[in-house]
Amino acid sequence: MSDDTSTGTDGAGSGAPVSEATRTIDNRSSRINVRDFFARYGLLVVFAIVVVIFKALDPEVFLTQNHVQNVLFLPSSFVPLLVLATALTFVLSMGDFDLSFGSMVGLSGATAVALMVNFEQPVWIAMLAALGVGAAVGLFNGFLISYVGASSFVITLAGLVGLKGIEQLWTSNRSITIPVGAQPFYVDLARNVEFWDLRRPVFIAFGIVAAAWIIMDRTEVGRYMYAIGGNTEAARLAGIPVARIRLLGFVIVALLASLIGILLTAGISGIRLNLGDAFLLDAYAAVFLGAAVFRPGQFSIPGTIVGALFLRVIEVGLLSLQISNAWINIAKGVILIFGVLVSQIMLRRK
């Protein structure tokens, strides 16, 4: 009798700690799940809140169909931001930098317009020359960085200044305007199309982003880029052609910057100085902001898309409220700091 009683007491006593341990594990698991959710999707939550606030403050204009078509997806603002941020994702995922793409936008656009207007060259020669200049700059940067071992920050910073000087020499430091009615094919690159009344550059940008996502997430090249960014020496020992892949990244950035130069000059029917300078900070902000969503601490094309849209919504929303450009620039700077800090924190946790 006493034995049965003691046995029952032991069973009850041993069951209590097991139950408490189970509850502790469940609580810890739930905390981890909540933390993981906000790490992956916290930016999307903030994005949704920002959209709701702007919509409440300006319900008759913000995110209406006309507003989306003619303001949010404006080819002269949203398209360069999205495409250049997408291009940057390639090099940043490998741990490199490129500061020259803003000047590359101006130089390629100037090349195309100057050849058509000043030298009366056919449009296809002008466009191929602009893309060729971009490819040459990308190969030059990539060779010095990948094969010579120079710092990507220093080389592309020199490119930022040097390419601007070449543009100034090429255009005699003056704006060039395409005459009205001349080069209709070139100017039509920035015109509207039938579907949803959006302009061609928007669809070109969507196509580029889709191709970039496939390359980064579905091909061997993309996996190599992430491996290089994770540990360059380990990637080299694993047989990955590190130098060639890094070279490819800089060529991609320069080519896409050249394409943006063509599209921007088509949109304004000419070239003005410092055409691409305004997109340097915004593109970096979009990519670093994107590293705080989906795959915290890792640059990715889906994250970059969210970052670009977030920045554009912030800018458009503040403009609709008639906030000055000074405060808009301050907001972009704060967002860039936030994106960098969050991505670095996530990298340290990994």
User: Which residues lie closer than 8 Å to 286 by C-beta, 6 or more apart?
Assistant: 81, 82, 85, 304, 307, 308, 310, 311
Q: What is the CA radius of gyration of the chain?
A: 26
**DSSP three-state, residue 151:** coil
Closest listed residue to residue 89, CA positions, set 249, 219, 245, 214: 249
Asked whether residue 6 carries a pLDDT value surpassing 60, the answer given is: no
192 bridge partner residues: 199
Is the separation of the CB atoms in 242 and 229 below 8 Å?
no
The number of residues making up the chain comes to: 350
Calculate what percentage of the chain has a pLDDT beyond 90.
59
Is the separation of the CB atoms in 314 and 81 below 8 Å?
no
Higher pLDDT, 75 or 5: 75
Is the separation of the CB atoms in 176 and 114 below 8 Å?
yes
23 occurs within a structural domain: no
CATH number at residue 159: 1.10.3470
Q: Which domain holds residue 206?
A: 50-349
Written as six digits, the tokens of 209 are: 């982003």
275 occurs within a structural domain: yes
User: Which residues lie closer than 8 Å to 305 by C-beta, 6 or more apart?
Assistant: 82, 86, 209, 290
* Residue indicated by tokens 């000074």: 326
Which segments within 198-309 are labelled E, that is strand?
Answer: 270-271
Asked whether residue 226 carries a pLDDT value surpassing 80, the answer given is: yes
Count of alpha carbons within 13 angstroms of residue 313, beta-carbon side: 22
152 occurs within a structural domain: yes
Written as six digits, the tokens of 21 are: 């341990």
Is the separation of the CB atoms in 110 and 271 below 8 Å?
yes
33 occurs within a structural domain: no
Quickly list H helices, the chain.
2-57, 65-67, 78-92, 101-117, 123-143, 152-170, 184-188, 200-218, 220-230, 232-237, 242-268, 279-290, 301-320, 325-349
Closest listed residue to residue 316, CA positions, set 15, 68, 76: 68
How far out from the chain centre does Cα 332 lie?
A: 14
| H or E stretch covering 8 | helix 2-57
Asked whether residue 17 carries a pLDDT value surpassing 60, the answer given is: no
26 occurs within a structural domain: no
Indicate the number of domains in the chain: 1
Q: How confident is the model at residue 140 (pLDDT cuts 50, 70, 90)?
A: very high
| Mean predicted lDDT score pLDDT of the chain | 87
8 occurs within a structural domain: no
> Over the range 157-171, which residues count as b (16 or more CB within 10 Å of their CB) and which as e?
eebbeebbebbbebb
271 bridge partner residues: 176
Asked whether residue 260 carries a pLDDT value surpassing 90, the answer given is: yes
How far out from the chain centre does Cα 244 lie?
A: 22
210 occurs within a structural domain: yes
Written as six digits, the tokens of 268 are: 């304004």
Q: How confident is the model at residue 160 (pLDDT cuts 50, 70, 90)?
A: very high
281 occurs within a structural domain: yes
* 73-111 confidence digits (pLDDT tens): 988 899 999 999 999 999 999 999 999 999 999 999 999
* Residue indicated by tokens 């793409």: 101
**What is the pLDDT, as a whole number, of residue 346?**
66
